[in-house]
């Protein structure tokens, strides 16, 4: 690991990163960059694939997560890896999702340079479009404003990216003057050697800042779990999902739900009329569309061990169901059971694809 | 609650537990008639969706029966089933949806008595729990 200092001009850290990315494109170090770029209206920002340096006006700090860049890298590389080097800028949760997708054979890092960005949290898309107050959302959130952040971000497991080639570091840096650039791999170091940046003296400030922010998120997380520990039992759980309209947007937005056709969008549960009538007779009544709770519980079973808690499911819900209230405790308990942390280590095997002979010996006896 | 007769859905693997249930029958071992058996090729092929569906549809208990460890016809299906059912129960426990109604048992083709005892045990325990509250809900 080596750390460098990226000088910031005009108190604009986004512009400094943009210049750095431009340099990578101009020098031919990478042939494209995939980075968050604001739409012309400024109402949102999307991961944008850019090869023309003239068209590069990224804002990697825009506090918005319209889609997981992990999903985009999967789309880009799943059929065949990119033939030319592409630099991908992503947040910690997006990199965690990408790591999980690679384990699921849904993405490939060949020719991909991953550049992580320290994350100060993101706000819902609509909040971003009409951000309250005088400040622009990026300035407000980088300046420490937290009141509009999404639950997923407030209770983030780790806002510092892991397993990326480079990290654009804001934590502990005086952002109006300089940013840290940290290289973690050979590929990252190769990029840095072409940039001619000064090495950072030490990272003590950064380490301290990271510790503080992790503690703060942990605290929020514990409090959040505690406050919602009453969602237990069929009455409460059914009430929680009462406004679910079975649109499956949570599944579509989820970076981990990668199946091309979800079981619940197939005809598996299409039954003949007699089954409907029988079920109605047996229960007296039942709500349609049927199986919405089954959908959520099954979705948990299929993806929760890889859940990176990006909160895209919650953001996608048209009924504003606060999904993270239930996802966080379910994920925490399930991942604890198998001592698995999604996105932690690309070499760590997924719990549902391996087994040990000498485990859970009490089960089934 | 005296006359409550639990309904149990059993997913039994073709090679061991189903044969064990068969043996219980051919050996004329008496066991409660509360179980409805679904034969599957391997306990490892039972996805969580089937178990959860049985539970949400109102089954009072669900049994997943497979070969003893090391005996799986497909070498390791039951090891995978074991992990999967740990996860199923873990999630149900967090949500308080009745993980104690999910049973996992390894029963070999020669263990007719063990199968009969298992069904009896499940019936007894489930009677203590009472009917699955999911059965009469109309809004799940």
Q: Does B44 contact A at CB distance below 8 Å?
A: no
Interchain CB distance below 8 Å, A351 and B83 = yes
Task: Choose the final residue of a domain: A166, A197, A225.
Answer: A225
Q: Do A120 and A161 fall within a single domain?
A: yes
Task: Choose the final residue of a domain: A191, A225, A259.
Answer: A225
Q: Do A133 and A205 fall within a single domain?
A: yes
**Is B1 a member of any domain?**
no
Interchain CB distance below 8 Å, B96 and A232 = yes
Q: Do A89 and A163 fall within a single domain?
A: yes
Q: Domain range for residue B51? A: 8-136
List residues in chain A touching B: CB distance below 8 A: 231-234, 236-238, 242, 263, 282-287, 291-294, 297-298, 300-302, 304-305, 326, 329-330, 333-334, 337-338, 351-352, 355-357, 359-360, 363-365
Interchain CB distance below 8 Å, A298 and B49 = yes
Tokens of A37: 């770029």
Q: Does B36 contact A at CB distance below 8 Å?
A: no
Q: Do A106 and A208 fall within a single domain?
A: yes
**Is A359 a member of any domain?**
no
Contacting B residues, span 72-111, partner chain A, CB-CB under 8 Å:
76, 78-80, 82-88, 90-98, 104-106
Structurally, how many domains does chain A consist of? Answer: 2
Structurally, how many domains does chain B consist of? Answer: 1
The per-residue pLDDT for range A269-315, each reduced to its tens digit, is: 888 999 999 999 988 999 998 899 999 999 999 999 999 999 999 99
Position A211 scores a pLDDT of: 97
In whole angstroms, what is the distance from residue B98 CA to residue A216 CA?
A: 34
Q: Do A238 and A221 fall within a single domain?
A: no
- A235, A266, A301, A303, best to mutate vs chain B, most B CBs in 10 Å: A301
Q: What is the ipTM of this complex?
A: 0.95
Is residue B2 pLDDT above 70, yes or no? Answer: no
- Which pTM does this prediction carry? 0.95
The per-residue pLDDT for range A162-221, each reduced to its tens digit, is: 999 999 999 999 999 999 999 999 999 999 999 999 999 999 999 999 999 999 999 999
Is residue B1 pLDDT above 70, yes or no? Answer: no
Interchain CB distance below 8 Å, B140 and A287 = yes
Interchain CB distance below 8 Å, B53 and A294 = yes
Q: Domain range for residue A276? A: 230-337
Q: Do A203 and A253 fall within a single domain?
A: no
Check which CATH number belongs to the domain holding B111 and give it.
Answer: 3.40.50.960
């Amino acid at each position: 690991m080596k750390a460098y200092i990226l000088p910031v001009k005009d108190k604009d850290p986004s512009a400094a990163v943009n210049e750095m990315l431009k340099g990578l494109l101009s020098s031919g170090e990478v042939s494209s960059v995939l980075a968050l770029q604001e739409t012309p209206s400024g109402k949102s920002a999307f991961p944008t694939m850019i090869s023309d340096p003239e068209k590069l006006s990224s804002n990697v700090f825009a506090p918005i997560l319209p889609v997981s860049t992990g999903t985009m890298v999967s789309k880009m590389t799943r059929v065949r890896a990119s033939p030319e080097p592409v630099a991908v800028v992503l947040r910690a949760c997006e990199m965690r999702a990408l790591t999980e997708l690679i384990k699921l054979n849904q993405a490939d890092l060949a020719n991909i340079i991953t550049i992580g960005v320290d994350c100060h949290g993101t706000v819902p898309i609509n909040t971003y479009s009409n951000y309250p107050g005088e400040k622009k959302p990026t300035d407000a959130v980088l300046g420490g404003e937290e009141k509009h952040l999404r639950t997923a971000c407030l209770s983030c497991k780790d806002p510092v990216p892991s397993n990326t080639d480079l990290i654009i570091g804001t934590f502990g840096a005086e952002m109006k003057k300089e940013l840290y650039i940290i290289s973690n791999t050979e590929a990252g170091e190769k990029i840095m050697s072409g940039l001619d940046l000064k090495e950072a003296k030490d990272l003590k400030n950064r380490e301290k800042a990271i510790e503080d922010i992790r503690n703060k998120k942990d605290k929020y997380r514990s409090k959040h779990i505690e406050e919602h520990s009453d969602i237990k039992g069929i009455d409460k759980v059914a009430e929680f999902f009462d406004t679910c309209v079975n649109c499956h947007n949570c599944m579509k937005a989820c970076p981990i739900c990668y199946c091309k056709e979800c079981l619940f969008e197939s005809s598996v549960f299409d039954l003949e009329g007699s089954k409907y009538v029988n079920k109605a007779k047996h229960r007296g009544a039942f709500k349609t569309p049927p199986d919405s709770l089954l959908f959520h519980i099954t979705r948990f079973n299929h993806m929760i061990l890889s859940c990176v808690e990006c909160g895209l499911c919650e953001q996608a819900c048209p009924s504003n169901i606060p999904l993270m209230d239930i996802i966080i405790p379910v994920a925490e308990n399930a991942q604890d059971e198998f001592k698995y942390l999604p996105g932690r280590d690309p070499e760590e095997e997924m719990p549902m694809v391996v087994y040990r002979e000498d485990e859970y010996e009490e089960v089934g006896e | 609650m005296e006359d409550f007769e639990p309904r149990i859905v059993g997913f039994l693997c073709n090679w061991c537990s189903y044969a064990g249930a068969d043996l219980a029958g051919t050996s004329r071992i008496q066991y409660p008639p509360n179980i409805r058996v679904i034969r599957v090729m391997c306990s490892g092929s039972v996805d969580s969706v089937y178990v959860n569906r049985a539970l949400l549809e109102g089954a009072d208990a669900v049994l997943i029966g497979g070969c003893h460890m090391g005996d799986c016809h497909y070498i390791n299906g039951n090891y995978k089933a074991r992990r999967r059912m740990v996860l199923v129960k873990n999630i149900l426990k967090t949500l308080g949806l009745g993980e104690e109604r999910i049973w996992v048992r390894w029963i070999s083709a020669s263990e007719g008595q063990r199968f009969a005892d298992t069904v009896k045990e499940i019936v007894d325990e489930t009677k203590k729990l009472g009917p699955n509250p999911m059965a009469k809900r109309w809004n799940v």
